[in-house]
Amino acid sequence: MMEQVKVLIDLQEIMTRGRSVESEKRKVPLEVADLKGLFEERETKFLSAQQEFEQLKKDRREKEREIEEERDKVERAKAKLMSIKTNKEYYAMLKEIEATKRINAQREEELLSVMGRYEESEKRLAEYKAAVDEVGDEYRARMVDIDAKMSVFDREIGALEAKKAQIASRIDKGLARRFEMIFDRRDGIAIVAARNQSCMGCHMNLSPQLFNLLQRDDRIHTCPNCNRILYYEAPEAEPSGK
């Protein structure tokens, strides 16, 4: 049994190290959390401004197209005046030309409004782009560093998992599963010493009978209070001269 106890102690050390490495790995992204939040905030503003800018660009082109079509319509109507024979048709055509000009004048006002908003949007977009680039360069550089750290942790975790499997293979599979369950439920401490008739895990007193069985070292025993696996640890020798 002592050999199994040694294996379980080694397994606990490896699993404790693995848990520690996992904990350190989870902290790594937090190193850049504030910078990431700032970058995403500025990027959201930039993307919103970009969407507004593209819509205004589309509106501007549409207004310019409409105005150009109406101008062509006026020119065609003026050319047609030369071939009209009656006064009635002539004045009707003049009326149509004037109506088209009024519509075009209104559209030109709308275009001026769109162009004003377009220029403001373009300026705002440039400002947001500069703000994103300012943070983005630092954020991307930090992420390269973060990725490198994560890779180191992943390699160490992989090595620890391999070592854990190697150690666990030296004991019964049922005992290994039971040990992992206790490890998870008892905050990473699955096997502890029994010293001076006490469990060093929960510090509860053990019955004399159980303590005697532990000293025989012929089977695995657990603490009746915390369910951790126990092994006997002899008391330290008294210093000489006392």
- Is the pLDDT higher at 107 or at 174? 174
Choose the final residue of a domain: 168, 184, 214: 168
Whether residue 159 is found in the same domain as residue 227: no
The share of the chain scoring above pLDDT 90, in percent, equals: 63
Sheet arrangement for strand 229-232: 198-199, 191-195, 229-232, 221-222
Q: Which pLDDT score, from 0 to 100, does residue 242 have?
A: 43
Q: Which pLDDT score, from 0 to 100, does residue 158 have?
A: 96
In whole angstroms, give the CA distance from residue 132 to residue 242: 75
Residue 138 confidence (pLDDT) above 60:
yes
| Integer angstrom CA distances of residue 129 from 34, 118, 124, 148, 167 | 19, 16, 9, 28, 55
Q: Which residues contact 73 (CB under 8 A, 6 or more apart)?
A: 100
Which string of b and e fits 109-147 if b means at least 16 CB within 10 Å? Answer: eebeebeebbeebeebbeebeebbeebbeebeeeeeebe
Q: Which pLDDT score, from 0 to 100, does residue 79 have?
A: 80
Q: Which pLDDT score, from 0 to 100, does residue 65 have?
A: 86
Domain residues for the domain of 134 are 28-168
Length of the chain in terms of residues written:
242
Residue 237 confidence (pLDDT) above 60:
no
Whether residue 120 is found in the same domain as residue 209: no
φ and ψ of 222, to 5 deg: -125, 160
Residue 238 confidence (pLDDT) above 50:
no
Whether residue 139 is found in the same domain as residue 188: no
Q: Which pLDDT score, from 0 to 100, does residue 84 have?
A: 78
* Residues 31-42, mean pLDDT to the nearest whole number: 91
CB-hemisphere CA count at 13 Å for 208? 0
Residue 9 confidence (pLDDT) above 70:
yes
Q: Are 139 and 32 in contact (CB under 8 A)?
A: yes
Whether residue 156 is found in the same domain as residue 206: no
Residue 23 DSSP label:
H
Min mean pLDDT across 110-114, 124-128, 184-188 is at 110-114
pLDDT bin (cut points 50, 70, 90) of residue 1 is: low
Show the DSSP H helices in 82-195 as ranges: 87-168, 173-185
In whole angstroms, give the CA distance from residue 10 to residue 4: 10
Whether residue 183 is found in the same domain as residue 159: no
Choose the final residue of a domain: 120, 147, 168: 168
Q: Which of 144, 228, 231 is nearest to 194 (CA)?
A: 231
* Residues 226-234, mean pLDDT to the nearest whole number: 93
CB-hemisphere CA count at 13 Å for 64? 8
3 state SS of 187:
coil
pLDDT digit string (tens) for 169-212?
Answer: 999 999 999 999 999 999 999 999 999 999 999 999 999 999 99
The total number of structural domains that make up the chain: 2
Q: What's 129's domain CATH number? A: 1.10.287.1490
Q: Which of 181, 170, 151 is nearest to 15 (CA)?
A: 181
Whether residue 110 is found in the same domain as residue 193: no
φ and ψ of 63, to 5 deg: -65, -40
Choose the final residue of a domain: 152, 168, 184: 168
pLDDT digit string (tens) for 84-97?
Answer: 778 888 888 888 88
Q: Which pLDDT score, from 0 to 100, does residue 87 have?
A: 82
pTM for this one?
A: 0.64
Q: Is residue 4 part of a domain?
A: no
Min mean pLDDT across 6-20, 48-62, 96-110 is at 96-110
Whether residue 164 is found in the same domain as residue 217: no
